[in-house]
Structure 1
Amino acid sequence: MKQLFFLLLVLLVGSEALAQSATATIRGQVRAVGQPLEQVTVALVGTAEGCTTNAQGRYELRNVPIGTAEIVFSFVGYQPVRRRVTVAATQTLVLDAALVATPAALEEVVVTGVSRATELRRSPVPVAALNRRDINLNANGNVIDAAVRGVPGLSAVTTGPNISKPFIRGLGYNRVLTMYNGLRQEGQQWGDEHGIEVDQYDIERIEVVKGPASLIYGSDAVAGVVNLLPRRPDDGPEGQLHGDALTEYQTNNNLLGASIGLRYHRAGWHYGGRASYRLAQNYRNPVDGRVYGTAFRELNATATAGVDKSWGSSDWSMTLYDNRQEIPDGSRDSLSRRFTRQVLDEGDDIRSRPVMPTAELSTYRLNPLYQRIQHYRLLTRNRFRLGAGELHALLGVQQNRRREYNHPTLPEQPGLSVQLTTYNYDLRYAAPTLLGVEATAGLNGMAQRNRNQDATDFPIPDYNLFDIGGYLHLKKTFGRLDLAGGLRYDTRHLTWNDFYVGPNLATGFDQRVPTAPGKEPQFAAFGRWYRGVSASVGGTYALGERYVLRANVARGYRAPNITEVGSNGLDPGAHIVYLGNRTFDPEFSLQQDLGLAARLPWADLSVDAFHNRITGYIYQARLTDANGQPVELVPGNVTYQYQQSGARLYGTELTANLHPTALPGFMLNNSLAYVVGLNQNSALRATEGNAAKYLPFIPPLYARSEARYTTPRPLGPFHATYVRATVDINAAQNRFYAVDNTETRTAGYTLLGLGAGTTLRAGQREVAQLFVQVDNVLNMAYQSHLNRLKYFEYYSASPNGRSGIYNQGRNVSVKVVVPF
């Protein structure tokens, strides 16, 4: 740890010694219909330089290399503007822009899944981006829910309103790499009830790569990447302390949210901070009423500092996440279907549990059975100019501590207590363009240490992991054709020692012991190397000014995660006993992507199709005995044993965002996503037939339409006033993994949403933003196929004919943002 902090200090202090290179500054204001436009992305094409406009529409782009520069101003809902300028050394150039309200997001600049900042339309793999306003438009239980609403092909496995795990095109868990500001998120991603430890109020932008990104990021990016980008502190007026305050209320679970952020920058130095707090009661729906065990409290804090000079830049950030989340188990009274609670450890009988009093279901006080997740993160991102090239260095350390309290007779004793410490590194050199070729070489990986603490259940061992990979990426433009490709090699070492478990006479539960003579260890010693080669080649071709064709072929690599090879115990928060297999080999995927995008005066259209074949696909399946009956190694908890076989996935995503020129301010946004996952385990298919035909956790056909009207001109002090209506259509899921009732059919449903909002201004000063959203307007009773609570059921039949727990009912959200 000391060595890491010393290295970080050297990077910051020693950076001034690098060779200086002459640069300039470009500043100005972006307006639309004569009014300042906030959160416009201002990017210097071909570099990582960029910023966003403040509430007055002003921006400042620093450290622009001398010579010819191309600047792109882009904002969802407006036609992007490209400006080519010539800058001289030490010059400050004023460059204003006016945007027209006709959506054309294809020219947005993205940084995720590419070796250098790239226009979205020039990425051979589909990439989607959401800005802060997109996030604020919706009522979100967490940051992943915000992304799911705006990106077709992205879905989430959920365990209540505050726990969502991203899935891309039917693949999730460690196949989707979630990142915070470019740092891979490491917080026990293997668990169903393990969410993403990020402050959703601090996120400025979300970028999603829908396809293999192993070439850039290595293992765990075989399905794609979700990159959560926080707000930079260097926007707004120089030398003035400014920020914003946010407050939110949601009626369904009486969620209260508050957040305040501060920012300051001067002479190239910038500082920022944010504190957020959310608390919620149990959510409700028309079938279950209040759902016991779904309340939570969440605290977040962030501090940032950085410097931008002619030699480059250095940014530092520290984050704290502390969440207390109740643990639902779905136990009920068999006749009334009212929720019951566990009050005993020994002798606990589901049928004899007391019914929860109604009053205790509507309180902010958490019940004794909950999980507490603390996540700490220290990150530094550095960019050094080396002549015409750039060196990027990212170093981070994060610690995740998870405790799950599941013993009602001993509430202070956690059933699960694990501490994961991860050191991340990422070095990338963007070489000067030579003969039109942009070459980027990189090296990244991590070192990980997991330790079980004082607990009674041990699903995974104490393990150590070291991961390293290097890659080379090349890109060249031939007129309208952009070609990109590269090669990567990864190696990972996973190891642990013998791990023994024995009785604790003081508590009556199990505990870890140094040794257990005559007894086999729960986790026998293990050590193995995993290696893999990733590759990608693809390109985009501009068919005139309005159409872009893209294609890509990629080989992805993923090493098995810790539960897949090492698990052997109960995860009390998930009510699942996991059994791994240490003989598993890495997964390899071969995916083909083909897409066509059109930017027309009246519409943005796109269609993407993919086909993915995976060897060594690892998935969960219920363990059964010789008679085909489900095994319960721990009473009241299901047992899953990981299996490995081949898999094939294919599907498509369509978008049609219409903005008729005859109706300024009107938009009709439409999207559709469809994926099929086929299990190619021939032995299982031979014995189970169609029950084993499909893969688990495949989302159904999903379509979303949004009609939105935004006033093109101010209505007195009210600017950008909008009204909107959304329709979310989820088809029935009849293609599911049915072996041993691991999954069951899910009925289709349609949800209606309504919303409105405005921005209040006093002259040129923004006073407040207001967002009102009503979800599930008709209070529909439904179950999402990827809602894990659907399977929280203890009885084979129920009086009302409904099984499991249903999703959230009608919800009204009011959100106010006040800049200052």
Structure 2
Amino acid sequence: MQTVYFFFLTAFMLIISQLEAVAQTGAIKGRVTAAGQPLEFVTVVVPGSTLGVTTARNGEFALAGIPAGSHELVFSFLGYETSRLSLTVADGQTAEANVKLQPTTSRLKEVVVTGVSRSTEVRKSPVPIAVLSKRQMNLNSNSNIVDAAVKGVPGLSAVTTGPNISKPFIRGLGYNRVLTLYNGLRQEGQQWGDEHGLEVDQYDIDRVEVVKGPASLIYGSDAVAGVINLLPATPNGPEGAVVGDAVAEYHSNNGMVGTSAGLSYRKRDWQYAFRASQKTAANYQNRVDGRVYGTAFRELMLSGMAGITKDRWFSHWYTTLYDNRQEIPDGSRDSLSRRFTKQIFELDRDNLTQRPVVTEDGLRSYSIGALHQRIQHYRLFTRSQVRLGQQELTALLGAQQNVRREFNHPTAPQQAGLYVALTTFNYDLRYSLPSWQGLETTLGANGMYQRNRTRDATDFPIPSYALFDAGGYVFLKRAFGKLDLSGGLRYDARTLRWDAFFVGPNPATGFAQRVGPSIDLAPQFPAFRKLYRGASASLGATYNFSEQLLLKANIARGYRAPNITEVGSNGLDPGAHIVYLGNRGFTPEFSLQEDLGLTTYRPNLDASLELFNNHIRNYIYQAKLYDADGQPVVIVPGNTTYQYKQSAARLYGLEATINLHPQSTRWLAFENSLALVNGLNKDHHLLETNGRAAKYLPLIPPLHTRSEVRITLAQPAKGLDKMYFRAGAEYYAAQNHFYAVDNTETRTPGYVLLNAGAGTTFTNRQQVSVCQLFIQLDNILDIAYQSHLNRLKYFEYYAVSASGRRGIYNPGRNFSLKVIVPF
């Protein structure tokens, strides 16, 4: 691995040394205001480059390393019209750009950088892209960053296991099919599992960008569903001053208390930032189950950044630490009272009907129970860039480690059942060539080296393995008048291997343990080595009929190599209560997706319609395993056995938005969205033997609509600014299209959730923000419901329930309060 890093570092330095030192550059600085007041967090970019920044609290910004010549700046901010400014930069000089933005409620003109090689606008990208700003995330109460994004991006959903475990799904596809990034770095944290969420501090995220579909070529394989890029805040305060903010949040449903404090500092060419956050919650509750035992959690997050920015180059270093203790619900109850019980003995002595009932104090306690998981994630990476004229060379080098332990032994609470450490080294080298005849070209290579090691454990669902991944791409973009074209090609290769892995009894503890090779034992995981290769491509166009009407079309081929669980599983996952069996003969998945979109911007409304059709070859899914007599295979008593299978699949659907913002009543906004996806199983043998039960794919979200009315006071009151009131409704239709083979899934009834909120910004005499307040009431009517993507829906031990309701329900009514104090 050191050789790989040395090669890329040497290549980076050699290219830098070859760049001409006579390039002429200057700088741009300015201030952004609206109604005479400074605007913070306004995005300022130079289109066709990766140059960009956000404004500070006083509305000021500064851009260095601007090539001498004529340029266009684009200013964008939620709630205001996008503004463009042309100016000329002279060598060694600083040009000024002061801009006044006009208010609007349009949400479709944000400037983004994800999924393409250089900055572009949503309106010009043929790839379906959605953007979620910091303010949008604050407007919606949430327990984690995935839930925050789900509430703001149509087509994005989440498979959940309680309020703090959410796995992102894009258009019905998730796990390794969704590539999650933290500031451009691949998030590698055992993402193929169900029992934990993203290891990211939600208070640190300033912006979320979502690419829908396999059209993103620059980040690597696995993105057959799309890409989610989580962008942290960057230092943007006045030079020489320490600035920051403090956050306090409370949720009534589970008593969650979240606090966070961040600091940043800029001096000359240097920038520094630091943030510390924590969240603590007891068990959540609903009116069917009461408090749900095993859903308490405690998180600690630390992050830091240091960087230097010069006229022609910059280098930024980031580090994060994430530590989460998360209880493990199993759904066991008293058969008559339906009160939750807890396991106190091991499997051989454990009698489900004799488990003790959890006390009321135990249900309300913030203490983490003996049966829990602990997830630690450490991240260190650097992003560096050299700019010379229109050329840009960007390098990313990163290292991260994810340590996951599941403590599932009630008689030996210090003994981890599952204990794995995943170490990943990432590399990314990108070169943007000078524009030639209007053609923008980007070349790049990236990949990773990964090792997963099993430590002192008793359960071994996967072997220790090593993975090496490498890929290269070319991305092109050109405008022909009203027509914008973009596309590219990519090729990836991945090697997956492990040595023979033996498991035997531990005489001292009575549990299983990893042992050395033995002639008396067959390996639980025989040695394996395989090379996976695949090509992906994308071609799209945006036609601007006018400034108010655009048509987009894109076709893309995606590629994904099978992950470790799909190939190598052979053991019990104690958190899921499932024995997984992999398939060594799997071949990579390939998808072919067509996207068609229509967007209109009108004075009183904006609207969009996105249609997609996705065919997947070699689609991998789980199915219950049966023996030759048609009986379910039981390898570990009390646990179900599933084996991964492969077939063809098709997913199709649409997303639509209509946002009304009448010019005559600028204080009023009415926003509406709809998302629909249908997943069809194309396994002909399965369809012949199981009929309609096998027609649909698992984990497909139902039809979902979201409507919201928001009133924002146009004129600030004394000491108050940006005061708003909002009310909304979310409708989830009944999901009748589900994977019913072996009762893997069941029908989910539809439901409606009503929500309301209010907030304001408190200001001083100089109209500068001193405090932001956000109040939210979710599920006002305290509806008892089960989301179709809620894994707890299937946590049930009894064939018949005394109450007639089976499984665990989603959280009930929740009142939340968030206060942000800048300083």
TM range (shorter): over 0.9
Partner of 1:261: 262
The amino acid of 2:245's aligned partner reads D
- For the residue of structure 2 that corresponds to 1:662, the secondary structure is helix
Within the candidate set 581, 588, 593, 1:586 is matched to 588
Partner of 1:793: 796
Select the residue among 435, 441, 444 that pairs with 1:442.
Answer: 444
CA offset digits 1:759-789 (Å, max 9, x no partner): 1111142101111111111111000000000
Match of 1:25 in 2: 27
Change (3 A) 1:608 1:453: same
The number of equivalent residue pairs is: 819
Distance change in 2, residues 1:223/1:750 (3 Å): same
The one-character-per-residue Cα deviations of 1:678-714 (angstroms, maximum 9, x if unpaired) are 0000000000000000000000000001111111111
- State the AA in 1 paired with 2:282: Q
Mapping for residues 309-320 of structure 1, pairs under 5 Å: 309-320=310-321
The question of whether the paired residues in 1 share the 8 Å contact of 2:76 and 2:110 is answered with: yes
Q: Given the alignment of the two structures, is residue 778 of structure 1 paired with residue 781 of structure 2, yes or no?
A: yes
Q: Which of 101, 106, 109 in structure 2 is aligned with 1:107?
A: 109
SS in 1 for 2:463: coil
Q: 1:302 maps to which residue?
A: 303
Contact 2:25/2:312 (8 A) holds in 1? no
* 2:148 aligned partner, one-letter code: A
Q: Is residue 249–residue 259 contact of structure 2 (8 Å, CA) maintained in 1?
A: yes
Question: Within 2, Cα distance between the matches of 1:92 and 1:755?
Answer: 44
Distance in 2 of aligned mates of 1:438 and 1:181: 23
Deviation at 1:661, TM superposition (A): 0.7
Instruction: Tell me the residue number matched to 1:330.
Output: 331
| Matched letter for residue 494 of structure 2 | R
Of residues 5-14 and 723-732 in structure 1, the stretch that sits farther from structure 2 once superposed is: 5-14
Letter aligned with residue 483 of structure 2 = L
Are 2:418 and 1:405 equivalent residues in the alignment?
no
* Per-residue Cα deviation, 1:109-154 (whole angstroms, up to 9, x for no partner): 2111111111111111110001111111111110000100000000
Q: How far 1:605 moved relative to its partner?
A: 0.5
Q: Kindly provide the amino acid, as one letter, of the partner of residue 578 in structure 1.
A: Y
Q: For residue 506 of structure 2, what is the aligned residue in structure 1?
A: 504
Deviation, 1:371, is: 0.3
Shift of 1:103: 2.6
Query: Retained in 2: the 8 A contact 1:688–1:739?
Result: yes
Task: Check whether the contact 1:673–1:701 (CA below 8 A) recurs between aligned residues.
Answer: yes
- Alignment match, 1:231: 233
Q: Tell me whether 700-709 or 12-21 shows the greater mean CA deviation.
A: 12-21
CA distance in 2, matches of 1:214, 1:558: 13
C-alpha contact (below 8 Å) 1:556/1:589 kept by paired residues: yes
Q: What is the match of residue 143 of structure 1?
A: 145
Give distance in 2, aligned partners of 1:7 and 1:534. Answer: 25
Q: Does 1:810 align with 2:817?
A: no
Q: For residues 175-224 of structure 1, give each alpha carbon's deviation from its aligned partner in whole angstroms, at most 9, with x where no partner exists.
A: 00011000010000111113110000000000000111352222210110
Q: Using a 3 Å threshold, how does the CA distance of structure 1 residues 5 and 531 change in structure 2: closer, same or farther?
A: closer
Q: Distance in 2 between the 1:334 and 1:569 partners? A: 29
Q: CA contact under 8 A between 1:214 and 1:557: conserved in structure 2?
A: no
Q: Which AA in structure 1 matches 2:622?
A: Q
What are the Cα deviations for residues 496-545 of structure 1, in whole angstroms up to 9, with x where unaligned? 01000000011110000002323211000000000001111111010111
Deviation per CA, 1:639-695: give whole Å up to 9, x if none: 221110000010000001110111112111100000000000000000000000000
Report what 1:152 is aligned to.
Answer: 154
2:218 partner SS: helix
Q: Distance in 1 between matches of 2:327 and 2:42?
A: 39
Paired letter, 2:207:
R
**Contact kept in structure 1, 2:653 and 2:677, CA below 8 Å:** yes
In structure 2, how many angstroms separate the alpha carbons of the residues matched to 1:56 and 1:631? 66
In 2: Cα distance, 1:63 partner to 1:764 partner: 33
State whether residues 56 and 764 of structure 1, in contact with CA within 8 Å, keep that contact through their aligned partners in structure 2. no
Q: Name the SS of the counterpart of 2:108 in structure 1.
A: helix
Instruction: Tell me the equivalent position of 1:550.
Output: 552
Superposition pairs of residues 563-642 of structure 1, within 5 angstroms: 563-642=565-644
- CA contact 1:553–1:593 (8 Å) conserved in 2: yes
Counterpart among 75, 78, 100 of residue 77 in structure 2: 75
> What SS is found at the alignment partner of 1:239?
coil
2-structure distance, mates of 1:793, 1:176: 29
* C-alpha distance 2-470 of structure 1, shift in aligned 2 (>3 A): closer
Of 508, 521, 524, 2:523 maps to: 521
- In the TM superposition, what is the alpha-carbon distance from 1:485 to its structure 2 partner? 1.3
8 Å Cα contact 2:216/2:227 also seen in 1: no
Alpha-carbon separation, structure 2, partners of 1:354 and 1:628: 36
Instruction: State the AA in 2 paired with 1:603.
Output: L
1:819 equivalenced with 2:819 (yes/no): no
- 1:10 & 1:217 partners in 2: Cα distance? 22
Residue type of the alignment partner of 2:263: L
Map of 1:198 onto structure 2: 200
Distance in 2 (alpha carbons) for counterparts of 1:533 and 1:14 = 29
Q: Which runs of 5+ in 2 are unaligned?
A: none
Match of 1:644 among 640, 643, 646: 646
Per the TM alignment, residue 14 of structure 1 is displaced from its structure 2 partner at its CA by 9.7
| Cα shift readout 1:325-362 (whole Å, capped 9, x = no counterpart) | 00000000000000000000031121111110111110
Contact 2:16 2:386 in 1 (8 A): no
Cα offset for 1:575? 1.7
Deviation for aligned residue 1:312: 1.6
| Matches for 1:465-476 after TM superposition, within 5 Å | 465-476=467-478
TM-score between the two structures when normalised by the length of structure 1: 0.98
Q: Does 1:391 align with 2:390?
A: no
SS for the counterpart of 2:80 is coil
**Partner Cα distance (1:752, 1:411) in 2:** 42
SS class of match (1:107): coil
Structure 1 residues 10 and 772: CA distance shift in structure 2, 3 A = farther
Task: Tell me how far 1:59 sits from its aligned partner.
Answer: 2.0
- Superposed, which structure 2 residues align to 1:714-753 within 5 Å? 714-753=716-755
Tell me, what secondary structure is at the counterpart of 1:56? coil
What's 2:434 paired with? 432
TM-superposed CA distance for 1:636, in Å, is 2.4
SS of 2:324's equivalent in the other structure is: strand
CA distance in 2, matches of 1:564, 1:646: 16
Structure 2: distance between partners of 1:460 and 1:21: 53
User: Structure 1 residue 717: deviation in Å?
Assistant: 1.1
Is the alpha carbon distance of 1:443 and 1:784 closer, same or farther for their aligned partners in structure 2, counting shifts above 3 Å? same
Counterpart CA distance in 1 for 2:630 and 2:289 is: 32
Worse-matched range after superposition: 325-334 or 619-628: 619-628
| Match of residue 361 from structure 2 | 359
Query: Per-residue deviation at 1:53?
Result: 1.8
> What is the Cα deviation at residue 92 of structure 1?
2.3
Q: Report if the CA contact (8 A) 1:576-1:640 is conserved.
A: yes
Percent identity between matched residues is 62
Name the aligned partner's letter for residue 797 of structure 2. Y
Cα RMSD (Å): 1.7
Letter in 1 for 2:461: P
Match of 1:703 in 2: 705
**TM-superposed deviation, 1:55:** 2.3
In structure 1, what is the Cα distance between the partners aligned to 2:88 and 2:713? 36
Per-residue CA deviation, residues 528-574 of structure 1 (Å, 9 max, x unaligned), is 00000111111101011111111001110000000000001111122
| Contact 1:726-1:754 at 8 Å conserved across structures | yes
- More off after superposition, 143-152 vs 629-638: 629-638
Partner residue in 1 for 2:119? 117
Mapped to 1, the partners of 2:779 and 2:241 lie a distance apart of 43
After the TM superposition, which residues 171-190 of structure 1 pair with which residues of structure 2 at under 5 Å, given as runs?
Answer: 171-190=173-192
Matched AA of 1:306? G
Instruction: Tell me the amino acid that sits aligned with residue 286 of structure 1.
Output: R
